[in-house]
Amino acid sequence: MILARIRNYLELIRFSHTIFALPFAFMGGALAAHSGGQWHSRAQDWLGILLCMATARTAAMAFNRLVDREYDALNPRTAMRHLPAGKLKVGAVAVFTALSSMAFLLSTLIFLPNRLPLLLAIPVLGWLLAYSYTKRFTSLAHLWLGISLGLAPIAAWIAIAGSLAWPPILLGLAVAAWVAGFDVIYACQDVDFDRAVGLSSIPRLLGIKGALLAAAALHAVMIVPLVTLGVIYPLGTLYFVGLAAAAALLIYEHALVRPDDLSRVNLAFFHVNAWISMGLLGVTLLDLVV
């Protein structure tokens, strides 16, 4: 019974999807720790980044499931999610959200005497939670989500360096464009539902064909700050080879999805993007070490 309940909560927040943002958080932390050509960080800082990422994402996902539960119940694609299907109670998920939010705030204490993570935690959490309402009033909800995940490498840099600089901002911009792009692709599955219930999205605004072109444009934009990051940091050959591979994967991702065939959206969304985030972290660490 206990294991089943734990599994339900992990499925509720799609815990496995943490792999999308966590590598970029570690990438931002690694760039901060190696700035100036010398490694300088504490083991507890890396634990703090991991805990903050996990708890912040858990709070945001659980809150999203709470806020969207009535829409999820109406949408055939999401009707079997845990709240509309009755697998979890609304009150229990609300408590879970509150505890996760508190755990996130407490996790920032790990970075003391660096107080910036603690001071920034509440506005960051507010931004993450506010995303759940954005589809009710703007088609740019995808960009809001992108910025939410783009904050991860910026926050990790601040946690280790205690200040802000251009490298994490460039990385954050790249992550924001990347996430917004693949979220637009994913939202194409719900274009008819969004129209029916009055929710806003790029697919509803532009149609599926226009939305896929917008996603491709966002992914093209993603490459620009990543190239700039490699030049100004500076990073070396391994990084740029990995970046070229990531660009090839983005092209492959868009080849998987067509306006008249959305059957491979999940393959594009989950598998390809996981390879991109993990791959860029891997080549960046290798480049810094070598």
Residue 290 pLDDT more than 90?
no
pLDDT at 14: 73
Q: Does residue 130 fall inside a structural domain?
A: yes
CA distance 44 to 33: 13
Q: Does residue 23 fall inside a structural domain?
A: yes
Contacts of 161 (CB under 8 A, 6+ apart): 32, 35
Report the first-to-last Cα separation within the chain, whole angstroms.
48
pLDDT tens column, 36-77 = 777 888 999 999 999 999 999 999 999 999 999 999 999 999
Band (29; pLDDT cuts 50, 70, 90): very high
pLDDT at 37: 75
How many helices (H) and strands (E) the chain has is answered by: 13, 0
Q: Domains in the chain: how many in total? A: 1
pLDDT at 1: 66
Residue 17 pLDDT more than 70?
no
pLDDT at 164: 95
Average pLDDT, the chain: 94
Mean pLDDT, to the nearest integer, of 23-30?
Answer: 96
User: By CB neighbour count within 10 A (0-12 exposed, 13-18 middle, 19+ buried), where does 117 fall?
Assistant: buried
Question: Which has the higher per-residue pLDDT, 20 or 278?
Answer: 278
Q: Does residue 1 fall inside a structural domain?
A: no
Q: Does residue 232 fall inside a structural domain?
A: yes
CA distance 14 to 135: 20
pLDDT at 73: 97
| Residue percentage of the chain with pLDDT more than 70 | 96
**CATH code of the domain covering residue 244:** 1.10.357.140
Band (6; pLDDT cuts 50, 70, 90): confident
Lowest mean pLDDT across 139-143, 169-173, 226-230, 266-270: 266-270
CA distance 281 to 30: 9
Lowest mean pLDDT across 10-19, 29-38, 160-169, 269-278: 10-19
Q: Which domain holds residue 139?
A: 19-289
Q: Does residue 284 fall inside a structural domain?
A: yes
